[in-house]
Amino acid sequence: MSATSTTYMESIILTAYGKPPLLEVGKRPVGEPATGQVLIKVMASPINPSDLIFLSGHNPNARKLPSVPGFEGSGTVVKSGGGKEADALIDKKVAFRSRPDIDGAWAQFTVTDADRCIPLLDAVSFTAGAMLLVNPLTAWTLVDCALTGGHKCAIQNAAASALGRMVIKYAQERGLPLINIVRKSEHVDLLKSLGVEEILNSEDQDFESQLACRAAALKATVAFDAVAGSAANLLLKSMPRRSELWSYGGLSEQPVQIDPMVLIYEQKVVRGFWGPPTFQQLPKDRFEAAAREIQEHLDTTFKTNVHKTFPLGDVQKALSEYQSNMSQGKILLTMN
């Protein structure tokens, strides 16, 4: 059935935030794109940590419920709401980001802005394309911004995560030295198997002194923080004067905790870092070149391992599997 003749679609519907959230499989009206927007027939969408935060109610951009979750995905544009950019995407395979104020990607169709879409190369599958806009773009942007900002070395925590491993590979390619923090001995072994040398385990008794020592030796002046909570302050105080902490995640589910004296007397800076919109603010020629570069390396530098795939109706099983085995790889929902 075509999108133009379909009134309702199968969707995952969030009816209440929480742990666990209240989700149901049901029908939602197929959206109508406005000017500058497109209607996408969704093929796949991953579960990301940002989705778990949204489902719990901790995302500051909470939507009015009921609503369809899902922050990114892939599919085919089947209708334009008008406008040059939207019209150019008709019948194109795209990776897309959902808007924060309307239904998201966990449905058979979704509406989003044309400028939140990236056309996929012919060789890129819907599976790979579904995971393009959160992790790969964030990894690329973190490393690129660190280098263009003049930083000689960076620190990252959650280094064994899918995103952390992308940062490692891309930093190696771009020549950015990186200090990698993990919290399990098996994660140390994992990174060593990938040829990584600068690895610190936050569970070691002398971790703080090791971190300060390595940060001073390598002149690490920027930290990529995926954890927040007290980990943020530890990173910031371990670096030299005038260093920066870029907060891009909240795996601890705690607010960023920073000693103001570290900010004041050591002239350090904390900033929020949101990868996809930062990437999409690049000049057009650089944006297009970088989007092509990332897609051409989705099987290598920016590869995401898929642990399991579930149909849309099995979202509860999918969420349970992801939360139990987050280090095993992504969980993907398939729609059509």
Which H or E element spans position 96? strand 93-97
Higher-pLDDT residue of 80 and 304 is 80
Cβ contact 293:282 at 8 Å: no
Neighbours of 68 (CB within 10 A): 22
Predicted confidence band at 5 (pLDDT cuts at 50, 70, 90)? low
Residue indicated by tokens 């519907």: 13
Q: Structural domain boundaries of the chain?
A: 8-131+304-334, 141-276
Q: Which residue has the higher pLDDT, 147 or 2?
A: 147
pLDDT for 228 equals 95
Report phi then psi at 58, rounded to 5: -95, -5
Cis peptide upstream of residue 49 (ω within 30 degrees of 0): no
pLDDT, tens digit, 9 for 90 and up, residues 157-176: 999 988 999 999 999 999 99
Closest CA to 160 of 140, 176, 145, 181: 181
**Is the pLDDT at 4 greater than 80, yes or no?**
no
In this structure, what token pair is assigned to residue 2?
């075509």
Residue in the block written with tokens 């497109």: 38
The span from the CA of 61 to the CA of 78, in Å, is 28
Mean pLDDT of the chain: 94
Closest of 273, 222, 274 to residue 245, by C-alpha: 222
Q: For the domain 8-131+304-334, what is the CATH code?
A: 3.90.180.10
State the CB neighbour count (10 A cutoff) for residue 105: 28
* Whether the Cβ atoms of residue 88 and residue 125 lie closer than 8 Å to each other: no
Domain 141-276 is classified in which CATH homologous superfamily?
A: NAD(P)-binding Rossmann-like Domain (3.40.50.720)
User: What is the tens place of the pLDDT at every residue in 211-226?
Assistant: 999 999 999 999 999 9
**Which DSSP letter does residue 63 get?**
P
What does the pLDDT read at residue 3? 47
Residue 126 has pLDDT above 80, yes or no: yes
Q: Band the pLDDT of 329: cuts 50, 70, 90.
A: confident
The pLDDT tens digits of the residues spanning 243-269 come to 999 999 988 989 999 999 999 999 999
User: Which amino acid does the sequence have at 139?
Assistant: A
pTM over 0.75: yes
